[in-house]
C-alpha cells in the first residue's frame, strides 16, 4: 500500500490517504514516482483497514519498473518507529546468521499479544520508505537519507556514501566478473550511478549472480555500506549475506 500520492501532475501537492474522505475516492491522483503516469485511487477509505492509494485501473497502471508497482504490505501500526535505528539495523543485517534468525521470535505480553517491533529487514525498510515522501521523517531520519530511488536522486548529487538502501536494476550486457567476484547494477532509473557488489564467498557470489540473471528485468533492492570505487559515479559495497538483496516482484 502507498500512504500518499499527489494531487497535481507537477507533484507539488502531496495528499495523505489518512486525510481522505469518502468523496475523495473517485478522484484521480498521481503516482509518487516522477517518471510514472499511473492513475492512483484511494482504497479502503470507508473500510476497517487503513486507507491507501493504488493504481486500480489496468489501462492506467504503473510504468514497467516503477517502484510503486510492486506489492507493499507496510502498516505503520505494526512497527515500533521510536526504537528503529537505521544505521544499527543495516549493520546487523550484514552480520545476520541462522542462529540470529531463530532467536528473533515475537515477544509476547502477558495477555498473549505481541509487542510491535522495529523494522529489521531490507524489504520492511524499503516498503516503509516507499510509503512516504522522501522528505518525510521516520524516527527523525528522512526517507531520502535511507533510500535512493527516482524521488530522492536529487539528494545525492555527489554519489552514494554510507549505509543506504538502493532501488536498482541489473546492468545491461555482462554484469558480472567471476574473477573479481563482482556484480554490477545501476541506479536509479536514470542509470546515473553504477553499483558494484563485491563478494568474498564464492558460493554466495554464484547464488546471487544466478538469481540476478533470472531477474534482470526486475527491480533489485540493495542494502549496504557504500563507498567510492575510485571510478566516476561508481560505488561499491560488500555483500556478505542474502538479506542485503531483495528481488522486487510485481503486484499479482
At 41-99, the pLDDT tens digits run 998 876 556 788 889 888 999 988 888 887 788 888 899 999 999 999 999 998 855 44
- Indicate whether 164 belongs to any domain: yes
Q: Which residue has the higher pLDDT, 154 or 106?
A: 154
Report yes or no on 9 lying in a domain.
yes
Tell me the pLDDT tens digit for each residue of 215-240.
999 999 999 999 999 999 999 999 99
Asked whether residue 8 is assigned to any structural domain, the reply reads yes
Mean pLDDT on 1-30: 88
Question: Residue 230: inside a domain, yes or no?
Answer: yes
pLDDT grade, residue 20 (50/70/90)?
Answer: confident
Looking at residue 108, the DSSP 8-state letter turns out to be B
pLDDT of residue 2: 84
Residue 112 in domain = yes
Query: CA 77, CA 2: separation in Å to the nearest integer?
Result: 14
Domain check: are 75 and 198 in the same one?
yes
Is 204 within 8 Å of 239 (Cβ atoms)? yes
Which cell numbers hold the place of 46? 470507508
Distance CA 235, CA 197 (A): 9
Same domain, 199 and 242: yes
> Is 65 part of a structural domain of the chain?
no
For residue range 150-205, what is the model confidence (pLDDT) as tens digits? Answer: 999 999 999 999 999 999 999 999 999 999 999 999 999 999 999 999 999 999 99
77 and 43 within one domain: no
- For residues 108 and 173, state if they share a domain: yes
Q: Where are the beta strands (DSSP E) in 34-161?
A: 39-43, 52-54, 137-138, 141-142, 147-148
Tell me: do 164 and 217 sit in the same domain: yes
**In this structure, are 10 and 120 located in the same domain?**
no
Least confident of 24-38, 71-85, 105-119, 233-247: 105-119
Yes or no: say if 1 and 54 are a contact pair by the CB < 8 Å rule.
yes
Co-location of 118 and 17 in the same domain: no
Task: Based on the fold, state whether residues 75 and 54 are members of the same structural domain.
Answer: no
Tell whether the model's pLDDT for residue 103 goes beyond 70: no
Q: What is the pTM of this model?
A: 0.83
What are the grid coordinates assigned to 214, written together? 533470472
Query: How does residue 114 score in pLDDT terms, banded at 50, 70 and 90?
Result: low
pLDDT of res. 95:
84
- Same domain flag for 165 and 199: yes
Predicted confidence at residue 32, as pLDDT, reads 92
Please give the sequence-ordered ranges of beta strands (E in DSSP) within the chain, or none if there are none: 4-6, 14-16, 29-30, 39-43, 52-54, 137-138, 141-142, 147-148, 162-170, 176-177, 182-187, 193-198, 219-228, 234-238, 245-248
CB 54 within 8 A of CB 62: no
Per the structure, the complete domain to which residue 232 belongs is given by 70-252
Q: What is the per-residue pLDDT for 109?
A: 45
- Which residue, of 60, 79, 106, is where some domain finishes? 60
Helix 86-93 and helix 122-131, axial crossing angle in degrees, nearest 10 = 150
Taking the C-alpha atoms of residue 246 and residue 125, their distance in angstroms, rounded to an integer, is 11
Assigned domain for 169 exists = yes
Number of domains into which the chain is organized: 2
Whichever domain contains 74, its CATH number is 2.40.50.110
Same domain, 103 and 211: yes
- 80 in a structural domain: yes
Model confidence at 102, pLDDT cuts 50, 70, 90, reads very low
Residues 54 and 90 in one domain: no
- Cβ atoms 193, 234 nearer than 8 A: yes
Q: What angle do CA 210, 213, 216 make, to 5 degrees?
A: 150
**Residue 89 sits in the same domain as residue 171:** yes
Amino acid at each position: 500500500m502507498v500512504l500518499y500520492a499527489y494531487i497535481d501532475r507537477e507533484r507539488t501537492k502531496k495528499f495523505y490517504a489518512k486525510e481522505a474522505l469518502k468523496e475523495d475516492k473517485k478522484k484521480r491522483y498521481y503516482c509518487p514516482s516522477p517518471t510514472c503516469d499511473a492513475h492512483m485511487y484511494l482504497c479502503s477509505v470507508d473500510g476497517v483497514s487503513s486507507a491507501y492509494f493504488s493504481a486500480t485501473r489496468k489501462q492506467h497502471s504503473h510504468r514497467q519498473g516503477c517502484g510503486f508497482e510492486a506489492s507493499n504490505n507496510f502498516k505503520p501500526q505494526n512497527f515500533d518507529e521510536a526504537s528503529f535505528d537505521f544505521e544499527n539495523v543495516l549493520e546487523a543485517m550484514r552480520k545476520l546468521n541462522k542462529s540470529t534468525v531463530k532467536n528473533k521470535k515475537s515477544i509476547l505480553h502477558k495477555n498473549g499479544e505481541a509487542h510491535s517491533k522495529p523494522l529489521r529487514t531490507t524489504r520492511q525498510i524499503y516498503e516503509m520508505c516507499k510509503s512516504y515522501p522522501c522528505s518525510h521523517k521516520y524516527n527523525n531520519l528522512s526517507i531520502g537519507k535511507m533510500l535512493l530511488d527516482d524521488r530522492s536522486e536529487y539528494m545525492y548529487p555527489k554519489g552514494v556514501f554510507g549505509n543506504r538502501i538502493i532501488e536498482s536494476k541489473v546492468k545491461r550486457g555482462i554484469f558480472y566478473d567471476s574473477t573479481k567476484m563482482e556484480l554490477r547494477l545501476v541506479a536509479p532509473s536514470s542509470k546515473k550511478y553504477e553499483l558494484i557488489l563485491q563478494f568474498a564467498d564464492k558460493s554466495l557470489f554464484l547464488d546471487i549472480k544466478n538469481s540476478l540473471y533470472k531477474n534482470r528485468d526486475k527491480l533489485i533492492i540493495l542494502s549496504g555500506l557504500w563507498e567510492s570505487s575510485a571510478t566516476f559515479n561508481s560505488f561499491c559495497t560488500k555483500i556478505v549475506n542474502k538479506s542485503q538483496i531483495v528481488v522486487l516482484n510485481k503486484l499479482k
